[in-house]
Structure 1
Protein backbone atom coordinates (compact mmCIF):
# COMPACT_ATOMS: atom_id res chain seq x y z
CA UNK A 1 0.00 0.00 0.00
CA UNK A 2 1.38 3.38 -0.98
CA UNK A 3 1.66 6.18 1.57
CA UNK A 4 -0.66 9.00 0.58
CA UNK A 5 0.28 11.62 3.17
CA UNK A 6 -2.00 13.47 5.51
CA UNK A 7 -5.57 13.07 4.25
CA UNK A 8 -6.71 16.24 6.05
CA UNK A 9 -3.98 18.32 4.42
CA UNK A 10 -4.93 17.12 0.94
CA UNK A 11 -8.58 17.89 1.61
CA UNK A 12 -7.68 21.37 2.87
CA UNK A 13 -5.65 22.05 -0.27
CA UNK A 14 -8.52 20.93 -2.51
CA UNK A 15 -10.93 23.13 -0.57
CA UNK A 16 -8.56 26.11 -0.87
CA UNK A 17 -8.09 25.46 -4.60
CA UNK A 18 -11.87 25.34 -5.12
CA UNK A 19 -12.37 28.60 -3.20
CA UNK A 20 -9.56 30.31 -5.12
CA UNK A 21 -11.10 29.18 -8.41
CA UNK A 22 -14.48 30.55 -7.29
CA UNK A 23 -12.87 33.88 -6.45
CA UNK A 24 -10.57 34.25 -9.46
CA UNK A 25 -12.86 32.80 -12.13
CA UNK A 26 -16.30 33.84 -10.89
CA UNK A 27 -15.49 36.84 -8.70
CA UNK A 28 -16.93 35.21 -5.56
CA UNK A 29 -15.82 37.60 -2.78
CA UNK A 30 -17.11 35.30 -0.03
CA UNK A 31 -14.77 32.58 -1.33
CA UNK A 32 -11.90 35.06 -1.09
CA UNK A 33 -12.85 35.86 2.50
CA UNK A 34 -12.99 32.16 3.41
CA UNK A 35 -9.55 31.51 1.88
CA UNK A 36 -8.10 34.40 3.87
CA UNK A 37 -9.73 33.15 7.08
CA UNK A 38 -8.48 29.60 6.47
CA UNK A 39 -4.91 30.84 6.09
CA UNK A 40 -4.78 33.18 9.09
CA UNK A 41 -2.98 30.51 11.19
CA UNK A 42 -0.09 30.77 8.70
CA UNK A 43 -0.02 34.54 9.22
CA UNK A 44 0.00 34.13 13.01
CA UNK A 45 2.82 31.59 12.79
CA UNK A 46 4.98 33.87 10.65
CA UNK A 47 4.14 36.97 12.72
CA UNK A 48 5.33 35.24 15.89
CA UNK A 49 8.78 34.88 14.30
CA UNK A 50 9.04 38.68 14.04
CA UNK A 51 7.58 39.44 17.47
CA UNK A 52 9.64 41.43 19.97
CA UNK A 53 8.49 42.86 23.30
CA UNK A 54 8.44 46.36 21.79
CA UNK A 55 6.29 45.24 18.84
CA UNK A 56 2.61 44.34 19.44
CA UNK A 57 1.80 40.95 17.94
CA UNK A 58 -1.53 42.31 16.68
CA UNK A 59 0.31 44.87 14.53
CA UNK A 60 2.46 42.13 13.05
CA UNK A 61 -0.59 39.96 12.36
CA UNK A 62 -2.25 42.91 10.64
CA UNK A 63 0.82 43.49 8.44
CA UNK A 64 1.04 39.77 7.68
CA UNK A 65 -2.65 39.67 6.79
CA UNK A 66 -2.05 42.39 4.21
CA UNK A 67 0.58 40.09 2.70
CA UNK A 68 -1.88 37.18 2.73
CA UNK A 69 -4.52 39.29 0.99
CA UNK A 70 -2.01 40.31 -1.67
CA UNK A 71 -1.03 36.65 -2.12
CA UNK A 72 -4.66 35.53 -2.45
CA UNK A 73 -5.35 38.26 -4.99
CA UNK A 74 -2.18 37.53 -6.99
CA UNK A 75 -2.28 33.71 -6.80
CA UNK A 76 -2.89 31.77 -10.00
CA UNK A 77 -3.52 28.05 -9.62
CA UNK A 78 -2.14 27.25 -13.08
CA UNK A 79 1.42 27.68 -11.79
CA UNK A 80 1.37 24.34 -9.99
CA UNK A 81 1.99 25.68 -6.47
CA UNK A 82 -0.28 25.68 -3.49
CA UNK A 83 -1.32 28.96 -1.89
CA UNK A 84 0.77 28.43 1.25
CA UNK A 85 4.03 28.15 -0.68
CA UNK A 86 3.09 31.17 -2.77
CA UNK A 87 1.92 33.27 0.20
CA UNK A 88 4.87 32.84 2.59
CA UNK A 89 7.30 35.17 0.75
CA UNK A 90 4.60 37.82 0.35
CA UNK A 91 3.60 37.65 4.02
CA UNK A 92 7.23 37.71 5.18
CA UNK A 93 7.87 40.70 2.89
CA UNK A 94 5.01 42.65 4.49
CA UNK A 95 6.24 41.72 7.96
CA UNK A 96 9.77 42.89 7.14
CA UNK A 97 8.44 46.12 5.66
CA UNK A 98 6.37 46.72 8.80
CA UNK A 99 9.33 46.09 11.11
CA UNK A 100 11.55 48.34 8.98
CA UNK A 101 8.98 51.17 9.02
CA UNK A 102 8.52 50.89 12.76
CA UNK A 103 12.27 50.94 13.33
CA UNK A 104 12.72 54.10 11.25
CA UNK A 105 9.89 55.82 13.09
CA UNK A 106 10.92 54.56 16.49
CA UNK A 107 13.52 57.19 17.30
CA UNK A 108 11.05 60.06 16.77
CA UNK A 109 8.24 58.12 18.44
CA UNK A 110 10.43 57.13 21.40
CA UNK A 111 11.54 60.71 21.87
CA UNK A 112 7.95 61.93 21.75
CA UNK A 113 6.76 59.13 24.06
CA UNK A 114 9.52 59.76 26.61
CA UNK A 115 8.86 63.46 26.56
CA UNK A 116 5.09 62.95 26.89
CA UNK A 117 5.55 60.52 29.79
CA UNK A 118 7.73 63.01 31.63
CA UNK A 119 5.41 65.83 30.65
CA UNK A 120 2.42 64.09 32.19
CA UNK A 121 3.66 65.46 35.50
CA UNK A 122 3.56 68.99 34.21
CA UNK A 123 1.22 70.65 31.73
CA UNK A 124 4.03 73.02 30.78
CA UNK A 125 6.17 70.08 29.70
CA UNK A 126 3.30 68.63 27.66
CA UNK A 127 2.87 71.97 25.90
CA UNK A 128 6.60 72.09 25.22
CA UNK A 129 6.50 68.58 23.75
CA UNK A 130 3.63 69.52 21.46
CA UNK A 131 5.58 72.55 20.33
CA UNK A 132 8.63 70.38 19.61
CA UNK A 133 6.55 67.99 17.54
CA UNK A 134 4.86 70.89 15.73
CA UNK A 135 8.27 72.43 15.08
CA UNK A 136 9.52 69.09 13.75
CA UNK A 137 6.48 68.83 11.49
CA UNK A 138 7.01 72.43 10.32
CA UNK A 139 10.25 71.43 8.57
CA UNK A 140 8.21 69.23 6.25
CA UNK A 141 6.52 70.26 3.03
CA UNK A 142 2.70 70.07 3.00
CA UNK A 143 2.90 66.79 1.04
CA UNK A 144 5.39 65.29 3.51
CA UNK A 145 3.22 66.39 6.46
CA UNK A 146 0.17 64.78 4.87
CA UNK A 147 2.01 61.51 4.23
CA UNK A 148 3.44 61.43 7.79
CA UNK A 149 -0.02 62.18 9.23
CA UNK A 150 -1.69 59.44 7.19
CA UNK A 151 0.95 56.90 8.19
CA UNK A 152 1.55 57.65 11.85
CA UNK A 153 -1.59 59.41 13.03
CA UNK A 154 -4.18 57.58 10.94
CA UNK A 155 -2.18 54.32 10.71
CA UNK A 156 -2.62 53.93 6.94
CA UNK A 157 -0.45 51.44 5.06
CA UNK A 158 2.10 52.77 2.59
CA UNK A 159 0.12 51.20 -0.22
CA UNK A 160 -3.07 53.04 0.83
CA UNK A 161 -1.16 56.30 1.11
CA UNK A 162 0.37 55.75 -2.33
CA UNK A 163 -3.08 55.34 -3.85
CA UNK A 164 -4.34 58.44 -2.03
CA UNK A 165 -1.50 60.81 -2.99
CA UNK A 166 -0.70 59.42 -6.44
CA UNK A 167 2.74 57.98 -5.75
CA UNK A 168 4.15 54.47 -5.80
CA UNK A 169 4.58 52.58 -2.53
CA UNK A 170 8.36 52.85 -2.96
CA UNK A 171 8.10 56.64 -3.36
CA UNK A 172 5.93 56.86 -0.22
CA UNK A 173 8.52 54.82 1.67
CA UNK A 174 11.27 57.21 0.54
CA UNK A 175 9.21 60.28 1.48
CA UNK A 176 8.54 58.82 4.93
CA UNK A 177 12.21 57.99 5.52
CA UNK A 178 13.35 61.43 4.41
CA UNK A 179 10.62 63.15 6.43
CA UNK A 180 11.50 61.27 9.60
CA UNK A 181 15.17 62.12 9.13
CA UNK A 182 14.28 65.82 8.75
CA UNK A 183 12.08 65.69 11.86
CA UNK A 184 14.75 63.84 13.84
CA UNK A 185 17.35 66.48 12.88
CA UNK A 186 14.98 69.25 13.95
CA UNK A 187 14.24 67.55 17.28
CA UNK A 188 17.92 66.95 17.98
CA UNK A 189 18.70 70.59 17.20
CA UNK A 190 15.97 71.72 19.59
Structure 2
Protein backbone atom coordinates (compact mmCIF):
# COMPACT_ATOMS: atom_id res chain seq x y z
CA UNK A 1 0.00 0.00 0.00
CA UNK A 2 2.83 2.43 0.88
CA UNK A 3 4.06 2.70 -2.71
CA UNK A 4 0.59 3.86 -3.80
CA UNK A 5 0.20 6.63 -1.21
CA UNK A 6 1.40 9.08 -3.83
CA UNK A 7 -1.95 8.57 -5.58
CA UNK A 8 -3.75 9.64 -2.40
CA UNK A 9 -1.58 12.74 -2.00
CA UNK A 10 -2.11 13.68 -5.66
CA UNK A 11 -5.89 13.44 -5.28
CA UNK A 12 -5.97 15.23 -1.92
CA UNK A 13 -4.03 18.17 -3.33
CA UNK A 14 -6.84 18.74 -5.84
CA UNK A 15 -9.22 19.56 -2.98
CA UNK A 16 -6.98 21.90 -0.99
CA UNK A 17 -8.67 25.10 0.15
CA UNK A 18 -12.18 23.67 0.22
CA UNK A 19 -12.62 23.90 3.99
CA UNK A 20 -11.72 20.28 4.78
CA UNK A 21 -8.43 19.60 6.52
CA UNK A 22 -5.78 17.92 4.38
CA UNK A 23 -5.34 15.15 6.95
CA UNK A 24 -9.07 14.34 6.70
CA UNK A 25 -8.86 14.23 2.92
CA UNK A 26 -5.80 12.00 3.10
CA UNK A 27 -7.46 9.63 5.56
CA UNK A 28 -10.53 9.34 3.37
CA UNK A 29 -8.31 8.76 0.35
CA UNK A 30 -6.53 5.92 2.16
CA UNK A 31 -9.90 4.24 2.72
CA UNK A 32 -10.55 4.51 -1.01
CA UNK A 33 -7.08 3.14 -1.76
CA UNK A 34 -7.71 0.10 0.44
CA UNK A 35 -11.02 -0.52 -1.33
CA UNK A 36 -9.26 -0.26 -4.69
CA UNK A 37 -6.56 -2.73 -3.59
CA UNK A 38 -9.22 -5.20 -2.49
CA UNK A 39 -11.18 -4.90 -5.72
CA UNK A 40 -8.38 -4.61 -8.27
CA UNK A 41 -7.96 -7.41 -10.79
CA UNK A 42 -4.78 -7.10 -12.85
CA UNK A 43 -6.26 -9.48 -15.41
CA UNK A 44 -8.59 -6.70 -16.56
CA UNK A 45 -5.67 -5.13 -18.39
CA UNK A 46 -5.82 -1.66 -16.83
CA UNK A 47 -3.27 0.15 -14.72
CA UNK A 48 -3.87 0.16 -10.98
CA UNK A 49 -3.80 3.97 -10.83
CA UNK A 50 -6.58 4.17 -13.43
CA UNK A 51 -8.70 1.87 -11.28
CA UNK A 52 -7.77 3.38 -7.91
CA UNK A 53 -8.16 7.13 -8.52
CA UNK A 54 -11.99 7.10 -8.88
CA UNK A 55 -12.26 5.08 -5.64
CA UNK A 56 -9.94 7.49 -3.80
CA UNK A 57 -11.82 10.55 -5.11
CA UNK A 58 -15.13 8.94 -4.21
CA UNK A 59 -14.18 8.66 -0.55
CA UNK A 60 -12.94 12.26 -0.50
CA UNK A 61 -16.15 13.53 -2.07
CA UNK A 62 -18.08 11.65 0.57
CA UNK A 63 -16.67 14.12 3.10
CA UNK A 64 -18.29 16.95 1.18
CA UNK A 65 -21.59 15.14 0.76
CA UNK A 66 -21.67 14.35 4.47
CA UNK A 67 -21.32 18.01 5.30
CA UNK A 68 -17.59 18.11 5.99
CA UNK A 69 -17.16 21.12 3.75
CA UNK A 70 -19.66 23.12 5.78
CA UNK A 71 -17.78 22.80 9.06
CA UNK A 72 -16.52 26.36 9.32
CA UNK A 73 -15.17 27.94 12.48
CA UNK A 74 -17.32 30.48 14.32
CA UNK A 75 -14.68 33.17 13.87
CA UNK A 76 -14.65 32.65 10.10
CA UNK A 77 -18.45 32.72 9.97
CA UNK A 78 -18.45 36.00 11.92
CA UNK A 79 -15.81 37.45 9.60
CA UNK A 80 -17.83 36.31 6.59
CA UNK A 81 -20.92 38.19 7.84
CA UNK A 82 -18.82 41.26 8.57
CA UNK A 83 -17.26 41.09 5.12
CA UNK A 84 -20.69 41.00 3.49
CA UNK A 85 -21.87 43.98 5.54
CA UNK A 86 -18.78 46.02 4.68
CA UNK A 87 -19.09 45.07 1.03
CA UNK A 88 -22.72 46.22 0.90
CA UNK A 89 -21.89 49.43 2.78
CA UNK A 90 -19.05 50.19 0.37
CA UNK A 91 -21.29 49.58 -2.67
CA UNK A 92 -23.92 52.00 -1.35
CA UNK A 93 -21.35 54.66 -0.62
CA UNK A 94 -19.22 54.40 -3.77
CA UNK A 95 -21.66 52.74 -6.22
CA UNK A 96 -19.18 50.02 -7.11
CA UNK A 97 -17.82 46.73 -5.86
CA UNK A 98 -14.83 47.06 -3.51
CA UNK A 99 -11.64 45.33 -4.55
CA UNK A 100 -10.19 42.55 -2.42
CA UNK A 101 -7.39 44.83 -1.28
CA UNK A 102 -9.89 47.52 -0.25
CA UNK A 103 -11.93 45.02 1.74
CA UNK A 104 -8.78 43.67 3.33
CA UNK A 105 -7.78 47.18 4.38
CA UNK A 106 -11.23 47.93 5.82
CA UNK A 107 -11.34 44.65 7.75
CA UNK A 108 -7.63 44.79 8.65
CA UNK A 109 -6.98 41.26 7.44
CA UNK A 110 -5.07 39.73 4.52
CA UNK A 111 -6.59 39.41 1.05
CA UNK A 112 -6.37 35.61 1.39
CA UNK A 113 -8.54 35.83 4.51
CA UNK A 114 -11.06 38.00 2.64
CA UNK A 115 -11.29 35.42 -0.14
CA UNK A 116 -11.84 32.67 2.41
CA UNK A 117 -14.53 34.71 4.18
CA UNK A 118 -16.32 35.43 0.91
CA UNK A 119 -16.22 31.75 -0.07
CA UNK A 120 -17.99 30.86 3.17
CA UNK A 121 -20.89 33.07 2.13
CA UNK A 122 -21.37 31.25 -1.19
CA UNK A 123 -24.40 28.95 -0.83
CA UNK A 124 -24.09 25.23 -1.64
CA UNK A 125 -25.16 24.16 -5.11
CA UNK A 126 -27.51 21.28 -5.83
CA UNK A 127 -25.68 18.71 -7.92
CA UNK A 128 -28.50 16.17 -7.91
CA UNK A 129 -31.95 16.03 -9.39
CA UNK A 130 -34.99 16.38 -7.17
CA UNK A 131 -36.06 13.19 -5.43
CA UNK A 132 -39.59 11.78 -5.38
CA UNK A 133 -40.50 14.17 -2.55
CA UNK A 134 -39.51 17.15 -4.64
CA UNK A 135 -36.42 17.90 -2.58
CA UNK A 136 -32.85 18.25 -3.77
CA UNK A 137 -29.67 17.18 -2.04
CA UNK A 138 -27.29 20.03 -1.36
CA UNK A 139 -23.71 19.32 -2.28
CA UNK A 140 -20.71 21.60 -2.29
CA UNK A 141 -19.66 22.42 -5.85
CA UNK A 142 -16.91 20.04 -6.99
CA UNK A 143 -15.33 20.06 -10.42
CA UNK A 144 -15.80 16.97 -12.54
CA UNK A 145 -12.13 16.07 -12.66
CA UNK A 146 -12.03 12.33 -11.98
CA UNK A 147 -11.07 11.31 -15.52
CA UNK A 148 -8.56 14.12 -15.90
CA UNK A 149 -6.85 13.28 -12.61
CA UNK A 150 -6.75 9.58 -13.44
CA UNK A 151 -5.26 10.28 -16.88
CA UNK A 152 -2.66 12.69 -15.51
CA UNK A 153 -1.56 10.36 -12.72
CA UNK A 154 -1.42 7.36 -15.07
CA UNK A 155 0.60 9.35 -17.61
CA UNK A 156 3.10 10.52 -14.98
CA UNK A 157 3.40 6.96 -13.72
CA UNK A 158 4.22 5.67 -17.20
CA UNK A 159 6.65 8.51 -18.00
CA UNK A 160 8.57 7.69 -14.82
CA UNK A 161 9.27 4.19 -16.20
CA UNK A 162 11.30 5.65 -19.07
CA UNK A 163 15.08 5.99 -18.94
CA UNK A 164 16.46 9.41 -18.12
CA UNK A 165 17.09 10.57 -21.72
CA UNK A 166 13.68 9.43 -22.99
CA UNK A 167 11.97 11.04 -20.02
CA UNK A 168 13.83 14.29 -20.66
CA UNK A 169 12.81 14.19 -24.32
CA UNK A 170 9.13 13.93 -23.40
CA UNK A 171 9.44 16.64 -20.76
CA UNK A 172 11.18 19.02 -23.17
CA UNK A 173 8.72 18.43 -25.99
CA UNK A 174 5.40 18.26 -24.13
CA UNK A 175 5.91 19.99 -20.78
CA UNK A 176 8.31 22.75 -21.81
CA UNK A 177 6.98 23.07 -25.39
CA UNK A 178 10.43 22.88 -26.97
CA UNK A 179 10.68 22.30 -30.73
CA UNK A 180 12.35 19.15 -32.00
CA UNK A 181 15.40 21.21 -32.99
CA UNK A 182 15.63 22.81 -29.52
CA UNK A 183 15.21 19.39 -27.90
CA UNK A 184 17.92 17.94 -30.12
CA UNK A 185 20.34 20.67 -29.06
CA UNK A 186 19.72 19.95 -25.36
CA UNK A 187 20.06 16.18 -25.74
CA UNK A 188 23.00 16.22 -28.17
CA UNK A 189 20.94 14.58 -30.93
CA UNK A 190 19.90 15.55 -34.43
CA UNK A 191 16.39 16.76 -35.19
CA UNK A 192 15.76 13.58 -37.21
CA UNK A 193 16.85 11.40 -34.29
CA UNK A 194 14.52 13.27 -31.95
CA UNK A 195 11.63 12.90 -34.39
CA UNK A 196 12.14 9.16 -34.77
CA UNK A 197 12.65 8.58 -31.05
CA UNK A 198 9.62 10.70 -30.18
CA UNK A 199 7.34 8.63 -32.44
CA UNK A 200 8.55 5.40 -30.83
CA UNK A 201 8.09 6.81 -27.33
CA UNK A 202 4.56 8.03 -28.02
CA UNK A 203 3.63 4.60 -29.37
CA UNK A 204 5.18 2.98 -26.29
CA UNK A 205 3.26 5.30 -23.94
CA UNK A 206 -0.04 4.66 -25.75
CA UNK A 207 0.43 0.91 -25.41
CA UNK A 208 1.20 1.16 -21.68
CA UNK A 209 -1.68 3.51 -21.00
CA UNK A 210 -4.13 1.29 -22.84
CA UNK A 211 -3.08 -1.63 -20.64
Q: Per the shorter chain, which TM-score range?
A: 0.3 to 0.5
How high is the TM-score relative to the length of structure 1?
0.36
By relative contact order (CA 8 Å, sep 6+), the higher-ranking structure is 2
Structure having the higher helix fraction is 1
How high is the TM-score relative to the length of structure 2?
0.33
